[in-house]
Amino acid sequence: MEKTTTLFLLFSTLLLTTSLAKDLCHKDDKNTLLKIKKSLNNPYHLASWDPETDCCSWYSIECGDASVNHRVTSLYIEYGKFSGQIPPEVGDLPFLKYLAFHKLPNLTGHIQPTIAKLKNLTYLRLSWTSLTGPIPEFLSQLENLEIINLSFNNLTGSIPSSLSSLQKLEYIDLSRNKLTGPIPESFGSFSGRIPNLLLSHNQLSGSIPKSLGKLDFDQIDFSRNKLQGDASILFGTSKRAWSNIDISRNKFQFDLSKVMLTKTVGRLDLNHNGITGNIPVQWTKSDIYSLNVSYNRLCGRIPQGGDLQKFDSYSYFHNKCLFGAPLPTSK
């Protein structure tokens, strides 16, 4: 009898201490997460979100260390069967640094306005959803943002020019939406570092602001929009090595003859525009990793040398009167 009691006591103390030691979750965060789960109609995907267990161990959740009292720092929900909107309670996780809703085709509505409260956010990813409406202005007040990824949604309206005030931005990925209007003039004056700009597969129009020519981008993807005018301001001998520029499938019209390249070019894709002139001999002096000038209105002989014969005819075909290897040698 006595033995069983001792054993029982020992066992329950053990259970108590382990469960106490394990529950690092802050009770406010746990309450908030349980509200989020309820807002999403208690999906099976979040079955591990059990109020009896430590929320820091739940699926899709990460907590910070003791220095931030184990507050929830990451909410990363992907590939679930949810429908409805982003729950407003996401704004009540004040220590959140990473927020993602990804590959949720039935996630609808606008970008949740309460996200504006998440001043510690460094990473925001809302991708492959059915979110609609505009890119909210409030993003520019989330001063710690480093990565904004709003690709593969149904967002409309124009790109807020205020995004350029974000000093820590490394990436802006707004590709594959239904954005209209111009690339903001302010994007030529990012006040901090110069982010990679990925704006492909939208309906952006107008010309590239002159101010962008002053910046030295690492990666630009403006492909598949309705941009026009002169894009040559993106190139030049003073630009950084290994830059990756894709302006294909737009309506750009400029003379390529005077466009000089930097010593090492990562990728240059100009296909499907209205670019005229010829390919400068100077291009034979650059190391070019990847090139595509097809479907333009170029003329003249492709200069011999450098990397220019490394590419096959598909990099050069469908121009007005371009000739020379790898294309047929006369026109």
331 binds ligand NAG (CB under 6 A): no
Contacts (CB under 6 A) with ligand NAG, residues 269-288? 271
8-37 residues in contact with ligand NAG (CB under 6 A) are none
Among 32, 127, 161, 286, binds ligand NAG (CB under 6 A): 127
**Binding map of ligand NAG across residues 52-81, x = CB under 6 A, - = no contact:** ----------------x------------x
Comparison of 53 and 318: residue with beta carbon closer to ligand NAG = 318
Q: Which of 6, 41, 106, 191 binds ligand NAG (CB under 6 A)?
A: 106
What is the nearest approach in angstroms of ligand NAG to the Cβ of residue 238? 26
Size of the site for ligand NAG (CB under 6 A): 27
Q: Output the six-digit token pair for 157.
A: 């309206």
3-state DSSP assignment of residue 182: coil
Find the binder of ligand NAG among 58, 187, 283, 295 (CB under 6 A): 295
Residues 215-274 that bind ligand NAG (CB under 6 A): 271
Q: Is 48 in the site for ligand NAG (CB under 6 A)?
A: no
Q: How far apart are CA 171 and CA 176, in angstroms?
A: 15
What are the phi and psi torsion angles at 147 (to 5°)? -130, 125
119 forms part of the interface with ligand NAG (CB under 6 A): yes
Which one, 194 or 213, has the nearer CB to ligand NAG? 194
Q: Which of 8, 11, 59, 314 binds ligand NAG (CB under 6 A)?
A: 314
156 binds ligand NAG (CB under 6 A): no
Instruction: Classify residue 121 by burial, with Cβ atoms within 10 Å: 0-12, 13-18, 19+.
Output: buried
Report the alpha-carbon distance of residue 123 to residue 173 in Å, rounded: 12
Q: Per CB under 6 A, does 149 bind ligand NAG?
A: yes
Q: Which residues bind ligand NAG (CB under 6 A)?
A: 68, 81, 83, 94-95, 105-106, 108, 119-120, 127-128, 130, 132, 149, 151-152, 154, 171, 173, 271, 292, 294-295, 312, 314-315
